[in-house]
A and B are shown apart, each in its own frame.
Chain A
Amino acid sequence: MAVTDPQHSVTDAAEDCNTPPPVQRVAGTEPRVCGEVPRTHKTLRALSSAALALPGLASSVQATAAMERQWDLGYFNYVEGGARMRVEGLKQGLVLPLGEALELRVNGVRDTISGASPIYNVPVIRCRDGRVFTAPVISVSGASGNPQSGGPPPERPPLNTGECRLSSAQQVLLEDTFQDVRTAGDFKLDYTRGDTILGLGAGVSQERDYDSRFLALDLRRAFNDKLTTLALGYSLAADTFSPLNRPGFSGDKDAHQFLLGLTQVLSRNDLLQINLTLGDDRGYLSDPYKNVYLLATNTAIEESRPDRRRQWNLLARYNHYFAELKAALHLDYRYSWSDWGIEAQTLEAAWIQPLGQGWQLVPRLRYYTQGEADFYRSYFETLPSSGDYSSDYRLAGFGALSGGLKLTRQLSAQARLDLGVEFYDRQSDYGLQGHTESTFADYGFTLYSLSLHLEF
C-alpha cells in the first residue's frame, strides 16, 4: 500500500525519552540529558555544558558518562473501523556510539497491510416517491475488484425532471483481498564536534508495488551557551510506483525537503521550537488505486493529480516543565499549505507525568483540520478541463480528533517497557475550512503499541 494518511503517525518521537532509572544503591553519573523533556534541570544542563568547556575536562566526563548502546523492539497493531485496513508490524532500532564523536542509529520495520480500501464514491439518487438508487457504474477501470454494492441497475432515473435528485454519495471499497508486506530500513550517522552536529542518513523501503529510497543531511549548531540551536536539513526521496492493476506501468516520484529550525531555551523550564519545512514533490503523484466517478458517462476512471506539489509546513512547539510536579507539557501547533490548495492545521497537547517507582503516563490529544484540494470532488459530473481530478477521501476537507495514552515502566536501569493506545476519529463535520460534505468517508482507527527499550 503506497500512500498513507498524513495522520497515521505510528511513532511519535516527541516523548521518546528515557525516564530516570530508579535510584541505585550506587551513585554513578547524572541521568542523561534528554532534549525533549526537560527532565534534567536547566541549571544542571547549563553548568554541565559549561564544565565541559573547561580545559581537559571533556574527555573524562564524556568517557565516564559514555553514551550507552540502545536497542528498541516494538510491535504495533493498527485497525481501521468498519473492517477496512489492518496493519501489523514489528520495529527494531539500534543506537551505537562509535567513539566519542560518532553515533550510528539503525532502524528496521516490517509490517503487513491487509483489508479493504475505498476506490471511489458513487452518487446516491433519491426520488420523491421514496426510491433510492446508487448511480450505475458501467466499468471500473484500474480497480481490480468488484464494487461491494451488488449489481448496479442498468438505468438511472432522469435527474432533470425534479422528480429525482442527487442527495449524497457512498464509498465503493476494493474488496478484502488486498495484502502487502512492507520492509524498510534506514541508518543515521551523527558526527559531533564542539557545538555542531552533522548528520547523514539514508534508507530504503520496499513493498510489492512501491519502492522508496531516501538520503538525508542535517546540520545542527548550538549557540549562546547552548541555549539556542539552529538546524538545517535536506532530504531527497526517490520513489517508484508499479501498481498491480497496471502491468507494465511504473511511475517515478522525487521528493525534496528543506528544513530550517530554531530551538530556544527561554528559561529554566521553557523551551520554544520553530521549524519551517518546504517540500517539493515531482513526478507521478497520483494513486492508481483511486478512481473518480463520472456522472455524465456513468463510469469510474483512474484519478489524475498534478505532477508537482509544493508544500510549506510550519511547526511551533512549546515545552514547559512543572518542577513541583516533575511533569512536562508539550504544545504543538502545525500549519501547512500546499499549492494543491490544501491548507491544514494541527493543535496537539501532551502531558508527560512521571508517577514515581519508574512509572510514567503520557496522555495526548490532537485536533486536525484540512481544507479540500482544488481538484477534489466526491464525484464529477464531467471531467474538469484542468485535467486534474481526484475523489480520494484524503484530499477532502475534514477534521479529525485523535488522542492516546502511553504508559511507561522502567523495569531496571537498563530496561523500559512502553504500552500505548491511540484512537483517531475522522469526521467531515469537524473540518474548519469550507468544504463539500464527505460524511460517507468518515472512519476511525485504533492503534495499539508495545515496545521494549534496552540499554547495554
Chain B
Amino acid sequence: MPAYHLAFKAMGSPCELHLQGPDAPEVQRVAASVIADIQRLERRYSRYRDDSLTSAINRVAAVGGRCEVDAETAALLDYANTCYRESDGLFDITSGVLRHAWRFEPPGVPEPEAITALLDRVGWDKLVWERPCLGFSRPGMEIDFGGIGKEYAADRAAALCWDAGIRSGLINLGGDVRVIGPLPDGSPWRIGIRDPERPETLLGGVLMTGGALATSGDYERFVCIHGRRYGHLLDPRTGWPVQGLVSVSVIAASCVVAGSLSTIAMLKGRDGIAWLRSLDVPHLWIDAEGERGGSGVFAELLKAQD
C-alpha cells in the first residue's frame, strides 16, 4: 500500500500529513484537499491576517457593535461557549486583549492599573451570543480562536480523509495530532512526546491507533523577571499569567477536546492535576519544579523513564 508523507507549514507551525491508501493518485488528491481546507481555515480564522473573518469580527468588536456569523463560525462560538462554561470562565476566547499588557518588551511586569483597565474588556459573559448574531456589550474587545482553530483543522482533516475512504493515517499540526486509523497492518502509530525541559530529546513515544493527542504548554514562550517565571497563558479573571504547570498533554477522541482539556488544565494551575485525574483521560503534566505525573499510556511512559 503506497504511503504518502508531506511536511508543510500552516498556522504558524510545522505540520505533517501521513496517509496510506490503495490508490496513490487518489491519496494525493485527498492530501491536496486536506491542505486546501487547512489553508482555508487559516485564512478565515487567523488573527494575524487583516483579511480574515476573525479580524472582521474584531473590527466590529472594537466599536462594540453586532454582526451575523456563518454556520461554521457559529459552531466554533458554541464550542467556545461550552469551554467557558466547563472551565468556570478560565477558557475565554476574549482574553487576547490582555496581551497588550504583557509584551515583555522590555522585560518587566505591567502596572496593575493597566491590567485592571484591560480586564474590563475581557469576558465571554460580556458578549451577547444569540446564534447567528454576535454582539459586543462594550467597545475595545477582541476574540481569538487560537485555542481551538488548529485542533479543529486537525479533526476536519481527519474527517476529510475518512470520508474519502482512507483508513490509515495521521495528521500533525504543530504538535496537535489526530490519528485517522492504524497502519495498514493494524499496528499503532508511535508518536514521540518531546521533553519540554530538554526540547532536543524525547520523553518517549505513545502508541495510538485512533483518537487525538494535544499539548498545551508555555515552556517555549515565557520570560523570567526577578527570578519569577511568567508564561504566555493568562488567567482571564486576574489578567496575570497562570502559575504551576508548564506542560499538559491529553489524549481524547477528538483533537478539539484534547486541546481544550489540556489548555483548561494549564489554566487551572496546580489544581489542574487533580482535575485531570478526575477526567479519567490519558494525560501527562509537568510542573514548574520539573515534577511530572500522568495516567494511562503516559503513566507507563513515565515508569519507563525511572
Interface residues of A (CB under 8 A from B): 20, 23-31, 39-44, 46-48, 50-51, 53-57, 59-61, 63-65, 225, 323-324, 326
How far does the alpha carbon of A34 sit from the alpha carbon of B239 in the complex, in Å?
Answer: 38
Segment with Cβ contacts to A, from B3-11, B48-56, B208-216: B208-216
- Mark contacts of B58-80 with chain A using CB atoms, 8 A cut-off: 1 yes-contact digit, 0 otherwise: 00000000000001100110110
Q: B79 contacts A53, CB within 8 Å?
A: yes
Which residue on chain A has the smallest CB distance to residue B213? A27
- Mark contacts of B270-306 with chain A using CB atoms, 8 A cut-off: 1 yes-contact digit, 0 otherwise: 0000000011111000000000000111011000000
**If the complex has contacts A39-B280, A54-B152, are A27 and B297 also in contact, measured as CB distance less than 8 A?**
yes
Which residue on chain A has the smallest CB distance to residue B187? A26
Which residue on chain B has the smallest CB distance to residue A42? B86
How far does the alpha carbon of A323 sit from the alpha carbon of B278 in the complex, in Å?
Answer: 6
Q: When A and B form their complex, which 8 residue pairs have the shortest distance between CB atoms, in order from nearest?
A: A60-B159, A50-B82, A323-B278, A60-B162, A43-B86, A29-B253, A51-B256, A41-B279
Q: A225 contacts B209, CB within 8 Å?
A: no
Q: Judge if B144 is at the interface, Cβ distance under 8 Å.
A: no
- Mark contacts of B117-136 with chain A using CB atoms, 8 A cut-off: 1 yes-contact digit, 0 otherwise: 00000000000000000000
**If the complex has contacts A53-B78, A54-B76, A56-B160, are A47 and B261 also in contact, measured as CB distance less than 8 A?**
yes
Q: A57 contacts B155, CB within 8 Å?
A: yes
Q: Judge if B229 is at the interface, Cβ distance under 8 Å.
A: no
How far does the alpha carbon of A48 sit from the alpha carbon of B255 in the complex, in Å?
Answer: 10
Which residue on chain B has the smallest CB distance to residue A28? B210
- Mark contacts of B255-267 with chain A using CB atoms, 8 A cut-off: 1 yes-contact digit, 0 otherwise: 0110011001000
**If the complex has contacts A40-B280, A56-B156, A61-B254, are A47 and B260 also in contact, measured as CB distance less than 8 A?**
yes
Closest-CB distance, B79 to chain A (whole angstroms): 5
Residues B157-176 near A (CB distance < 8 A): 158-163
Q: B83 contacts A47, CB within 8 Å?
A: yes
A-B contact pairs, 19 of them (CB 8 A): A23-B282, A23-B296, A25-B300, A27-B207, A27-B208, A27-B251, A27-B297, A41-B278, A43-B86, A44-B280, A47-B79, A50-B78, A50-B82, A51-B257, A53-B79, A55-B72, A60-B158, A64-B158, A64-B210
How far does the alpha carbon of A153 sit from the alpha carbon of B297 in the complex, in Å?
Answer: 79
Q: Identify A26's interface contact among B78, B163, B188, CB under 8 A.
A: B188
Q: Judge if B35 is at the interface, Cβ distance under 8 Å.
A: no
Q: Judge if B203 is at the interface, Cβ distance under 8 Å.
A: no
Q: Identify B282's interface contact among A27, A39, A55, A61, CB under 8 A.
A: A27
Which residue on chain B has the smallest CB distance to residue A64? B210
Closest-CB distance, A225 to chain B (whole angstroms): 7
Q: A29 contacts B211, CB within 8 Å?
A: yes
Q: Interface size of B by Cβ–Cβ distance < 8 Å? A: 48
Closest-CB distance, A376 to chain B (whole angstroms): 51
A-chain residues with CB within 8 Å of residue B206 when the two chains form the complex: 27
Which residue on chain B has the smallest CB distance to residue A44? B279
**If the complex has contacts A23-B296, A28-B209, A46-B86, are A54 and B79 also in contact, measured as CB distance less than 8 A?**
yes
Q: Judge if B252 is at the interface, Cβ distance under 8 Å.
A: yes
Q: A25 contacts B207, CB within 8 Å?
A: yes
A-chain residues with CB within 8 Å of residue B281 when the two chains form the complex: 30, 44
Tell which of A24, A39, A44 has the most Cβ of chain B within 10 Å: A44
Closest-CB distance, A67 to chain B (whole angstroms): 13
Q: B155 contacts A54, CB within 8 Å?
A: yes
In the complex, given contacts A27-B282, A60-B158, A65-B253, what are 11 additional A-B residue pairs having Cβ atoms less than 8 angstroms apart?
A30-B281, A41-B279, A41-B280, A44-B252, A44-B281, A46-B86, A48-B257, A50-B79, A51-B257, A59-B159, A61-B254
**If the complex has contacts A46-B86, A54-B256, A60-B159, are A29 and B278 also in contact, measured as CB distance less than 8 A?**
no
Q: Judge if B85 is at the interface, Cβ distance under 8 Å.
A: yes
Q: Identify B261's interface contact among A39, A40, A44, CB under 8 A.
A: A44
How far does the alpha carbon of A326 sit from the alpha carbon of B296 in the complex, in Å?
Answer: 16
Which residue on chain A has the smallest CB distance to residue B82? A50
Q: Judge if B181 is at the interface, Cβ distance under 8 Å.
A: yes
Which residue on chain B has the smallest CB distance to residue A323? B278
Closest-CB distance, B192 to chain A (whole angstroms): 14
Tell which of B180, B253, B296, B299 has the most Cβ of chain A within 10 Å: B253
Which residue on chain B has the smallest CB distance to residue A23? B296
B-chain residues with CB within 8 Å of residue A46 when the two chains form the complex: 82, 85-86
Q: A64 contacts B162, CB within 8 Å?
A: yes
Residues B218-238 near A (CB distance < 8 A): none
Q: B75 contacts A55, CB within 8 Å?
A: yes
How far does the alpha carbon of A41 sit from the alpha carbon of B207 in the complex, in Å?
Answer: 24
A-chain residues with CB within 8 Å of residue B159 when the two chains form the complex: 56-57, 59-61
Q: A23 contacts B295, CB within 8 Å?
A: yes
Q: B208 contacts A60, CB within 8 Å?
A: no
Tell which of B72, B206, B278 has the most Cβ of chain A within 10 Å: B278
A-chain residues with CB within 8 Å of residue B83 when the two chains form the complex: 47, 50
Tell which of A51, A59, A63 has the most Cβ of chain B within 10 Å: A51
